[in-house]
Amino acid sequence: MARRLTHIDRRGNARMVDVSAKAPNLRSAIAKASVIVSAEALAIIRKGKAKKGDVLGVAQLAGIMAAKRTPDLIPLCHPLELSKVEVTLAIDARRRAVDVTATCTATGRTGVEMEAMTAVSVAALTVYDMMKSVDRGMRITDIRLVRKSGGKSGLFTAD
């Protein structure tokens, strides 16, 4: 039996899913992304010498802010009272990458996967924006959910 799309009603209209009957519980999600950059861009980021400022610090803040604004960006996404948003950026010199990780936590009736995915996406876009004058060939890759817990479906961990 095929699963029915929860955001579409029987007539094919978009709708916000009614979660009022669900019991609130602790929910957490971790998402990751990578920005592949040139050797020159990586050196500038590492040294903190970008013309626009501290790339990693600004991108971290942008990711946190984005998680909080997710329902304003993603149609039909429920507004959540986030209890934790943590965004980290790390340089992997071997891959010439800036790796972004976001962890979001809330006690609520629906999950925080979209908040974590939005956080890493916007943090990665911020890295791109701050470094585009040096490297327009940067690639944002591997945006993905790596873990989620809570709710009816329980624990998910990506392979």
Q: Which of 129, 135, 142, 159 is catalytic?
A: 129
Query: In the numeric block, which tokens belong to residue 43?
Result: 């050196």
Give yes or no: 129 in active site.
Answer: yes
Q: How many CB atoms lie under 10 A from the CB of residue 58?
A: 18
Q: What backbone torsions phi and psi does residue 5 show, to the nearest 5 degrees? A: -70, 125
Consecutive H or E run containing 92: strand 82-92
Identity at 116, one-letter amino acid code = A
Identity at 56, one-letter amino acid code = L
Query: In the numeric block, which tokens belong to residue 123?
Result: 């943090």
Residue 151 is classified by DSSP as S
Q: How many CB atoms lie under 10 A from the CB of residue 88?
A: 14
Give the strand pairing for 25-36 and 156-157: unpaired
Q: What backbone torsions phi and psi does residue 108 show, to the nearest 5 degrees? A: -165, -170
With residues binned 3-state (H G I as helix, E B as strand, rest as coil), the percentages for the chain, rounded to 5, are: 30, 30, 40
Catalytic site positions? 129
